[in-house]
Amino acid sequence: MIHRLPRIFSSFAFTVIVSALTAQAQSFHEGAPASAMRLSPETTFITPAMRPSAAHGLFPLSDDEQKQLLAVDSSLTSVSFMKAAPKDYPREFQFLAFYYTQAVASSVYSANPFTGEVIGRLFGENQSKTTPGTAMYMEQRIIPFFIYQPKLFDGRAILRAAFEIDWTWGDESYLVGGNRGGAFNAGRVNIQTQNIELELLPGDNWAINIGLQRLFDTQYNPYRTLANTMLQTGYRLAFWGSHATGITVRKDEDYWRLKTGYYILYAREPEQRNGVSLFEANVEVDLTSEWRQGFSAWYLMDRANGQAGIPTINEGLNSPLNEWNGTFRFRFPFANPADLNNRYEADVFWLGTYGSYNPEYQNGRFGASMFAIANLGTANMYEEGAWKKGADIFGFALNGRAGYKYGQTPEDLVQLDVLYSSGDANGINDKQYSGVITGNTWGFPGSIFVGHGAYLVFPHGNVINRFIGAVSDLSNLGYGVTGGILNISNDIIPHKLAVRLGAAGAFSNVTPPRGAATLPIDNVIGAEANARVVYQLGVFMSLEFHAAYMWLGDYYNSPRVNGNVTQKPVNPWTTFMAFRWLMF
């Protein structure tokens, strides 16, 4: 969501500004690790800081530790639970809150701008479009966290609750519903529940999480790991990145980590067992002091027939939601589509491996991460009293990221990110689907691949109510995608003022159909240039400026992907200024 790169300051003005900021920077937080002062500028979700310590276990930070930033090492994600809980640990009840507000000027807008969230693919069924003019708006969000750890259980039971309140300035007042409430008089009931979950620590490095919790495709505990770590390791939330009710059991040892989980995504009618359930198993081992390798398996059982989730739209393989999210929609060839007895059932597997080497550049100048994952499964259709083959599923996705830290801070960095996902040219007409499937088929969104640095070609995470990208899902409508992102950043004032320049590009692995188009069509989705400036005002508090511009390729001459118009839309651009603060 950004328009053009910032202009170069004059040498005199630049000298004055740098001198002033340097003087101010020296007055902040002496003795505290500067890297711990930063929130990830890639996303508006955060993880409350916890104490990773073999001597004290994992517990919410004490008041004094909060003030001193705790010296949290963001690369430490393997945790160790002590055999006996500590006698002294922080207060029983904690409150934290994440505040984010931004002012946006962009060519991207929604034809229904004040209906709450606008999520999914640019030019998709979410009615997102581009205008030759400028759309301007301001948004605001606060996410409060409540953490209760009673002394009665000697630190072995923790209850967490997280909520979300957000709106666009001036959108609506009164009534009931989330993502709105910023109009005159306010008075709207708009609190949304994110998580309410219980964590039990039975000992011997085991942890059990029960309830409505984060469903992330990470090997790490999402309540004890910094957001940036999860965005740069594992599957980087590209397949699963939302919330679900369920139970997870994990064991975190010094050199290996094990996670298993069971989630009920939807339960339509429990007596008929026609919902959607997800099972997972994940193990990661330390091959060397820096290289970690993991293996994972997920199994999803879908018996909801695309009739669960959001009312009127629903969610699942054959749901219209796929046209919003930019995922592949299974259009089962029923002989009589009007027959209410028609239904489908699906069994979908994800088998993959992932690895990382110094992924956050904490222990050397080179860093890298990768994943390779395959989709397997079947979808069957029921009509005229019999089950028939709907489609076999086999697709795969690859991602590799590598970087070099040329300076003293993690922001002195050059990094390249490449991505590939298989595509399908003829849908399920041949009873085969060779693209990938992610959580976006069942969620809105169900995955959030945002840790790459792009803004428009791929969606970014600095959003509140508008989460839109040209390629909003790895499947890219089932066509597949080949893409790359290059970022070059520099800490002009170490740990205080950082600047980043970036570029991104993507190709569809299948050229979309011509339809009624008269102009040439190819598989070039587009290219992007972007820039970001982040100034750290204080402890977990920053002021930021972001900008990006995308040149649309001839891929968008196809009415199938351009919003059903006869010619390529206006190029998207966006700029926004943001303020973020984690308060405790």
- At residue 514, the pLDDT reads 84
Beta bridge partners of 146: 95, 161
Sequence-distant (≥ 6) Cβ neighbours of residue 41 within 8 angstroms = 462, 532, 534, 542, 544, 580
In 434-496, at which residue ranges do the beta strands (DSSP E only) sit? 466-469, 481-493
- At residue 335, the pLDDT reads 80
Sequence-distant (≥ 6) Cβ neighbours of residue 74 within 8 angstroms = 35, 36, 226, 228, 229, 360, 362
Cα–Cα distances (Å) from 216 to 221, 236, 433, 448, 483, in that order, read 9, 9, 25, 9, 23
User: Look-up: residue for tokens 């820096």?
Assistant: 290
Q: Is the dihedral of CA 492, 496, 501, 506 positive or negative?
A: positive
Model-level pTM?
0.85
Beta bridge partners of 262: 247, 279
Question: Beta strand 118-121 with 466-469: parallel, antiparallel or unpaired?
Answer: parallel
φ, ψ dihedrals at 230, nearest 5°: -70, -25
Gap between the Cα atoms of 256 and 238, Å rounded: 23
Count of positions (residues) in the chain: 584
CATH class of the region 11-583: mainly beta
- At residue 314, the pLDDT reads 80
489, 495 Cβ separation under 8 angstroms: no
Angle at 188 between CA 187 and CA 193, to 5 degrees: 135
φ, ψ dihedrals at 63, nearest 5°: -60, -45
- For the chain, domain boundaries: 11-583
- At residue 91, the pLDDT reads 79
Residue numbers in the chain where pLDDT is lower than 50? 1-36, 49-86, 114
In 384-455, at which residue ranges do the beta strands (DSSP E only) sit? 386-405, 413-421, 432-433
In 151-205, at which residue ranges do the beta strands (DSSP E only) sit? 157-168, 192-203
